[in-house]
Structures are given as structure tokens and as C-alpha cells.
């Protein structure tokens, strides 16, 4: 039997009640509604209930997240969720007010390879280091983001979507231009990506499988990467 030819990288944060999310409070809660000791049968079960925000942890935004006539999570083609990817690493100089510039992207292409159409572009800012301290990760909504020029350029490149290791590619004070540009043109955004340091900057692949929710505008995703 042939073995799987790629190494699998888990790019997904584990969900629990203490993880960062957009608002203060608890964005994820898991309760036992029946526990083993409650069962009087030979085989005992633990039955759980999950209450959470749709945009919790590592998750994907569908176009309908901010585009009224955009497609929903359940309408995303599986072909759009499996793609080659590149990782643009700005972690060496990114800070809370850093905005990934068009020059950053073009420098990446100059050194490595042009960004291909139908690929996902991930941005490693290093902000993941604060994941274990939610207030610092949220940081009053000051975290590395992506410029409008970058979004427009990647749209011209024909990408499928982007991912980033922060709450959002947009800071609220900037007016969410990246969401508007990409989601408005049928692309996808994956937020709170984990372990990008373990992915190759070129030559990798990703598979992003969200909960298939009817009418969902965003959903938690199990994001995995593949490298040779």
C-alpha cells in the first residue's frame, strides 16, 4: 500500500472556552448534557452540547459575511477549498500597527515565485504568539493587517482566498476594505490561522473544511496544510 506522499500540518487552533475572539466574554462553550454516570446501560455515553459564535477560532468567511447577495458557507465549492498556497512571512518586522504592503508582496514574488491564480495566500505575522493571552491577542483591535492595495493586487492575480494569523486582515478603524474587496468578488478569508511557521513559503497545499451550515456567513474550519 502506498503511503500518503505529503506531510500533514495542522493549521487549526483548538477550540475551548479561553480562546481569543472578536468580542469580550466567551465565544465558545461546551457542556456535558449527559455524562457517563448518568447512564444506567452497560455502554455509557457522554453527550455534549456546543454553543459558539460562528466566527470562532480558525474559521472561514464566505462572501455573504459582508455581501448581501454573496454565497453562503454551504454553497462554497469543495474545489475552492483545496488549493496550492504560498506563505508570505512578515513576522520579523510586523507589529501591532503593521500593515502588509504591496511592496511586501512584490518582494516575495521577486525572491520566490509569482503568485499563481487559484491559489491561497497566507500571511504569517507572528501574532499567533499571543493566542494564549486573549486580551493581548485582541489588543483593543490593534494587530497586523493587510492593505487595500494588497487585496486589489491579489484579486488581479486571481487567487481563491487569503488567510492570516490574526483576528482579521482588517483593523476595524480602517473600515474593512480587504473584506469588501475579496468577499465582494467571490473570494474567501480564513482568520486565526495556526502553525504557519511549519508550512513552506512555496509549494504547499491546503484543505479547508468548514461546518456546512445552510445560510451560514462564516464557520469554524479544520484547516490542514500539506508539504513534501
Instruction: Give the Cβ contact number of residue 195 at 10 Å.
Output: 18
Domain boundaries of the chain, sorted by first residue: 59-227
From residue 18, give the alpha-carbon distance in Å to each of 38, 130, 178: 27, 13, 28
- CA–CA dist 159, 122 (Å, integer): 11
pLDDT for the residue 26: 67
Q: Is the pLDDT of residue 3 over 90?
A: no
The whole model's pTM is what?
0.96
Mean pLDDT, rounded, for 192-197 = 99
DSSP the chain: -PPPSSEEEE--PPP-TTS--SSSS-SEEEEEEE-GGG--SSS---EEEEEE-TT-SSEEE-GGGT-TTSPPGGGS-GGGTEEEEEEEE-TTT--TT-EE-HHHHHHHHHHS-PPPTT-EEEEE-SGGGGTTSHHHHHGGG---EE-HHHHHHHHHHT-SEEEESSS-SS-GGGT-HHHHHHHTTT-EEEES---GGGS-SSSEEEEEEE---TT-SEEEEEEEEEE-
Mean pLDDT, rounded, for 179-187 = 98
Question: pLDDT per residue over 10-52, tens digit each?
Answer: 999 999 999 998 886 668 999 999 999 998 999 999 999 999 9
Instruction: Give me the chain's average pLDDT, please.
Output: 96
Question: pLDDT per residue over 108-121, tens digit each?
Answer: 999 999 999 999 99
pLDDT for the residue 23: 81
Question: pLDDT per residue over 60-94, tens digit each?
Answer: 999 999 999 999 999 999 999 999 999 999 999 99
Q: Is the pLDDT of residue 2 over 90?
A: no
pLDDT for the residue 79: 96
In CATH terms, the superfamily for domain 59-227 is: Putative cyclase (3.50.30.50)
- CA–CA dist 102, 146 (Å, integer): 9
pLDDT for the residue 4: 87
Amino acid at each position: 500500500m502506498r503511503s500518503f506522499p505529503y506531510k500533514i500540518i495542522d493549521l487549526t487552533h483548538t477550540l475551548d472556552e479561553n480562546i481569543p475572539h472578536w468580542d469580550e466574554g466567551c465565544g465558545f462553550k461546551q457542556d456535558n448534557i449527559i455524562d457517563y454516570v448518568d447512564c444506567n446501560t452497560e455502554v455509557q455515553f457522554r453527550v455534549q452540547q456546543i454553543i459558539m459564535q460562528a466566527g470562532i477560532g480558525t474559521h472561514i468567511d464566505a462572501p455573504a459575511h459582508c455581501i448581501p447577495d454573496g454565497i453562503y458557507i454551504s454553497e462554497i465549492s469543495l474545489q475552492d477549498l483545496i488549493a496550492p498556497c504560498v506563505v508570505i512571512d512578515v513576522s520579523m518586522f510586523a507589529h501591532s500597527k503593521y500593515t502588509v504592503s504591496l511592496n511586501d508582496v512584490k518582494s516575495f514574488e521577486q525572491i520566490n515565485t509569482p503568485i499563481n491564480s487559484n491559489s491561497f495566500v497566507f500571511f504569517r505575522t507572528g501574532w499567533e504568539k499571543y493566542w494564549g493571552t486573549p486580551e493581548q491577542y485582541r489588543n483593543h483591535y490593534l494587530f497586523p493587517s493587510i492593505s487595500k492595495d494588497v487585496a486589489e493586487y491579489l484579486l488581479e492575480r486571481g487567487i481563491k482566498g487569503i488567510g492570516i494569523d490574526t483576528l482579521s486582515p482588517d483593523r476595524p478603524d480602517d473600515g474593512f476594505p480587504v473584506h469588501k474587496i475579496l468577499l465582494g468578488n467571490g473570494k474567501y478569508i480564513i482568520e486565526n490561522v495556526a502553525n504557519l511557521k511549519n508550512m513552506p513559503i512555496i509549494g504547499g497545499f491546503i484543505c479547508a473544511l468548514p461546518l456546512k451550515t445552510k445560510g451560514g456567513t462564516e464557520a469554524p474550519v479544520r484547516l490542514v496544510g500539506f508539504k513534501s
